[in-house]
Structure 1
Amino acid sequence: MVRDLCMFAGFNEDSRIVWFKITYSKEPGSLSLITDFLEKENAFIKFGHIDNITHDKGEYSIFTELKKDVDIEDLARKIEGLEVVSTVEHGISEFGMIYSVDFPLNVIGVRGVMARALTIVDIIKTLNQSVPHAEGLLTLSGLRGGSHAAKYFKSIMPINDSNFASMLAELYRAVGWGILEIDCDPETYEGKIVVKDSFIADVYGGSDQPVCAFMSGYFAGYLTEYFGKNISVREVSCKATGKSVCEHIISLAPTNTNQEHQLRGEIK
């Protein structure tokens, strides 16, 4: 799947964004055959990217907008049945997280930039090594970022107890930050978030302490804005310390605690 150009575009109740990764034989007219077929199937191509795998084979990754009543599995089988196609992978971007490739880039409502994970982690390391209470500053930065994201989501689409977690998970995957497993009770405001392949922990290297304070803050900001309650999030397990995944504990912040002063909160 092409991810480096996945951004948040918006929400259409009547359609879905579906991606296909099509391996095809590079014969004259192969791509035209594929695109013509998709056009006949009313699959509107939002974005496409071509990779040359070998001299004889290519890989065509596309994001399409399809009506919700389209049988995605059946369409994938039909594409794979084309004479020039060898394999097809596919998936659904449920909340439409792609954006046209313009300059400047737009990421969840504001200008965005693409940066190497190492660049961001170098900034985090510099803060940790040079600034007192760096963890608190990183958490506060995350709080604001997560809050902005939740506000933007609420402004463009319905957000509720059934989708607030999956919406956040899709955002993280789309921008390359990590793969989330979220378990949060909307009645008690307690739960946990497991982050697989955290870009911070993966690039940071070995550490005696958890290093994903920014992510803890981002989760807290997002959940605080959604729930309308001050939420604390604390990283209790980090891949940088040798664990297999990063784990963040969610809890309701103590009464009368200002979000900007709660930092990472306490474990209940």
Structure 2
Amino acid sequence: VIPYSCIPIPINPFCTAIMMGKCMSYKLQLPLITKMKGDYWFFALRLRNRPGVLTKVAEVFAKANINILGGTHTVVEDGGFVDWITLTDFSKSKVKPSDIAEKLSRNPDVVRVDYGIKVIGGIGFPPFEVAIIFGEEKATIWRYIWLTSFLGSLIRYFKDSGQLFLYQAAYIAGYNISQWWKQSTATKDPLKLIQVAGEALKAFGWIRDYEIVRFQESPTLVVIRLFESFESQAYKKLKVSGGCYFMLGLLAGYVAGIFGVSMVAREEKCEAKGHGFCEFHISVYKA
């Protein structure tokens, strides 16, 4: 067992991950849309939030030789229940989905069972409504390639105007995000709030990693490196010149929200220009 600090700089460490062996990247496949490669069925269950309930539910599928391809569970209703949504493959099972649903419903900890699949053009969709939630609010998902194509097209066709739009829009978004994190976390420490943002960007797939190179409160100066941000990778692939104006504005607005003063940011290095990372310098705006 290797103790591994997940803090990019050795200042005020606040978490430790215990990892077995070398670092690896885990994948989270949301069971919402799938290519039909077997006898696939979606199941959605509302369960009582008690230890061992998921194990008993999974055993029902396992005993019927049904493969669970992916799933996610979320605590709902003030912690009293869990919604479990899963994609299953009945290809090697002799049991019907209706029989599995009936057997699951006999469990007193299973409050509701919905199942089915809607197939259009070889793509399977859940037949029931699924709300994606982040921070107790509805969220949405964009495929990586859709978002990068959007940003690249904005810069390619609108040039300086597109860059200005991205920076200003992202600045406002970054400021608002900082206020949300200040209310949602148990810290007011500026450095930790910046670390929270870095970890969130990693968790959402916006960057591969980050590093806080310098943190100075008076006068305020924050230097952050981002590795393989979706924006820099888009510009590299589309061969669009310029810098990462979206990330530039987002970071400037976020730091401005933390310190309560207007900030300005500049990008000293950019992966889209051949550097090994994107480096942003954020400081107080001086009129």
Shorter-normalised TM-score: what interval?
A: 0.5 to 0.7
Distance (Å, rounded) in 1 between the aligned partners of 2:195 and 2:84 = 23
Question: What amino acid does structure 2 have at the position aligned with 1:167?
Answer: V
- 2-side partners of 1:200 and 1:140: how far apart? 16
Counterpart of 1:201 (choices 232, 237, 245) is: 232
DSSP 3-state at the match of 1:163: helix
Q: Which of these residues, 248, 253, 261, is aligned with residue 285 of structure 2?
A: 253
CA distance in structure 2 between the partners assigned to 1:138 and 1:155 by the alignment: 26
Residue 141 in structure 1 maps to residue 172 in structure 2: no
In 1, the alpha carbon distance for the partners of 2:268 and 2:138 equals: 32
Q: Distance in 1 between matches of 2:275 and 2:83?
A: 39
Q: Contact conserved, 2:151 with 2:234, CA < 8 A, in 1?
A: no
Question: What stretches of structure 1 move > 6 A for 4+ residues in a row?
Answer: 45-50
Percent identity over the alignment is 20
Describe the shift of the 1:162–1:249 C-alpha distance in structure 2 as closer, same or farther (beyond 3 A): closer
Give deviations 1:159-186, integer Å, cap 9, x for gaps: 3134112111111111001111123212
Letter in structure 2 aligned against 1:200: E
Determine if contact 1:206/1:242 at 8 Å carries over to the other structure: no
Which stretch of the first structure deviates more once superposed, 183-192 or 104-113? 104-113
Tell me, in whole angstroms, the C-alpha distance in 1 between the residues paired with 2:284 and 2:156. Answer: 31
Aligned length: 175
Q: CA deviation at 1:48?
A: 10
1:21-60 equivalences under 5 Å are none
Q: Greater RCO between the two (CA within 8 Å, min separation 6)? A: 1
Quote the offset at 1:220 in angstroms: 0.8
Match of 1:119 in 2: 146
Aligned-partner Cα distance in 2 for 1:192–1:246: 10
Q: 2:217 aligned with 1:190, yes or no?
A: no
1:100-179 equivalences in 2 (<5 Å): 103-108=130-135, 110-131=137-158, 132-158=160-186, 159-178=188-207, 179=209
Partners of 1:220 and 1:194 in 2: how far apart?
13
Alpha carbons of structure 1 residues 225 and 196: separation in structure 2 relative to 1, 3 Å: same
Instruction: Please list every run of 5 or more consecutive structure 1 residues that lacks an aligned counterpart in the other structure.
Output: 6-26, 29-44, 51-101, 256-268
Q: 1:139–1:213: 8 Å Cα contact kept in structure 2?
A: yes
TM-score w.r.t. length of structure 1: 0.55
C-alpha separation in 1, matches of 2:234 and 2:140: 19
Mapped to 2, the partners of 1:198 and 1:141 lie a distance apart of: 18
Structure 2: state its 5+ residue gaps.
1-25, 31-61, 64-81, 88-128
Give the aligned partner of residue 52 of structure 2.
none
**Cα distance 1:210–1:193, how it changes in 2: closer, same or farther (>3 A)?**
farther
Residues 1:110 and 1:254: Cα distance change in structure 2 (over 3 Å): farther
Q: TM-score w.r.t. structure 2 length?
A: 0.52
Q: Give the C-alpha shift of residue 240 in structure 1.
A: 1.2
Q: Secondary structure at the match of 1:240?
A: helix
Rg comparison, structure with higher value: 2
Deviation at 1:129, TM superposition (A): 2.2
**Alignment match, 1:214:** 246
Deviation at residue 215 of structure 1 after TM alignment: 0.6
